[in-house]
Amino acid sequence: MKLALLISLSALFQSARGGVPNGLAPKVMIISMFRDEAEVWYNIPEFNVLAQNISVPGLSPLFPNVHCTKDSSICQITVGEAEINAASSIAALIYSGRFTLTSTYFMIAGIAGVNPKVATIGSVTFARYAVQVGLQFEIDAREIPAHFSTGYFPQGSNAPGEFPGTLYGTEVFEVNDALRHLAAQFARRARLKDNTESKAVRTQYAKNPAFAAAAAAPTVALCDTATSDTFWSGNLLGEAFEGTTKVFTNGSAVYCTTQQEDNGTLTALMRGALAKRMDFSRIIIMRSASDFDRPPPAESALANLLGPAPGFESSVLNLHLAGVKVVEAIVTGWSATFERGIKATNYVGDIFGSLGGTPDFGPGSIFK
């Protein structure tokens, strides 16, 4: 009794001394980017995140509230689309003083484009690496030198395929691989949704043997994600960013999904971890595939970009179907497993080594 009192008193003083505010301490924070991704978490049978609407200064004016269950164990934030919105919203959340996030699992739950060489529409993927492929030099395709395969090449380099000579630090993030495998295992308990329109699109990709993964049924897959503010389409840019992903991660990452936020989100989370507000080994990057990053044989890049996206509906629904298995497993397994954390056996952090350790990609830690 006395011991318990002492411990709770010391916890009180510690939090006062450290200036780290007390607040709601969710076990899981679901990160959505826009309305459709958010709404799959509302009015569901499993839990009610609309029980508490918490207004947080600095969030997107389109999505000013963080939503939480009554017991605050599960919360959901909508950060807004593309890297600037994502980074700004996550930073506002972390420094709001309304939440204690040091033990919280952050699950990015968004839709994405997909590389038909790796997976298909409707699939749910879990990434280890997030690569900011848009952070590069660019020359318009009509002006590139004859020996260039693409107009994109790393900053501080002379040509595509070279390692960047200049790094901003957000080029690559690596998250906890053991947690990723566990999350995928939970997600595989879900029955993914599919539709006949998606099946028809997949048969188009079957004409190219390199796209066998696109022609197959949707699955839960382990593969990496590429971030850019630019929403691209086409074989040439797809291949260019496959190359960037390889170069930035020294060949480790598999270019699989494409989206506009994750490096922004991860940058803000990494800085939050440096400020001891969150734990960078508790991040899950879940991206379901809504459309292909390049067309099937005999279709143009523009038609692929502007045409119908038959995978949109099932990819949004699958965020909930697969993601809810992950959320439930974390909440029910809290005291047995998740409260103390899943030990990372791989490097976690950014390309600079900001959180300590030595990145297994890039030039190594700059803080040595």
Interface contacts to ligand NAG, rule CB under 6 A: 50-51, 53, 129-132, 135, 163, 170-174, 227, 248, 250, 262-263, 266, 351, 360-363
Residue placing its CB nearer to ligand NAG in the complex, 76 or 100: 76
Cβ 33 to ligand NAG shortest distance, Å: 15
Cα–Cα nearest to 83, from 102, 110, 64, 50: 110
Cβ 182 to ligand NAG shortest distance, Å: 18
- Among all chains, which residue has been given the structure tokens 């309304």? 98
Containing 322, the helix (H) or strand (E) segment is helix 312-332
Reduced to 3 states (helix: H, G, I; strand: E, B; else coil), residue 110 is strand
What are the tokens at 317?
């629904």
Cβ 79 to ligand NAG shortest distance, Å: 15
Cβ 174 to ligand NAG shortest distance, Å: 6
Residue placing its CB nearer to ligand NAG in the complex, 247 or 327: 247
Residue placing its CB nearer to ligand NAG in the complex, 220 or 351: 351
Is-contact 366 352, C-beta < 8 A?
yes
Cα–Cα nearest to 359, from 248, 266, 228: 248
- Sorted by sequence, the CB contacts under 8 Å of residue 200 that are 6+ apart come out as 310
Cβ 224 to ligand NAG shortest distance, Å: 7
How many whole angstroms separate alpha carbon 265 and alpha carbon 226? 13
Residue placing its CB nearer to ligand NAG in the complex, 171 or 291: 171
Residue placing its CB nearer to ligand NAG in the complex, 138 or 360: 360
What are the tokens at 340?
């103390």
Cβ 154 to ligand NAG shortest distance, Å: 10
Cβ 248 to ligand NAG shortest distance, Å: 5
Give a three-class secondary structure readout of 220-275. EEECEEEECCCCCCCHHHHHHHHHHHHHHCCCCCCEEEEECCHHHHHHHHHHHHHC
**Whole-angstrom distance between the N-terminal and C-terminal Cα of the chain?**
45
Is-contact 66 78, C-beta < 8 A?
no
Cβ 241 to ligand NAG shortest distance, Å: 11
How many whole angstroms separate alpha carbon 20 and alpha carbon 99? 10
Residue placing its CB nearer to ligand NAG in the complex, 130 or 321: 130
Residue placing its CB nearer to ligand NAG in the complex, 262 or 279: 262
How many C-beta atoms surround the C-beta of residue 91 within 10 A?
Answer: 18
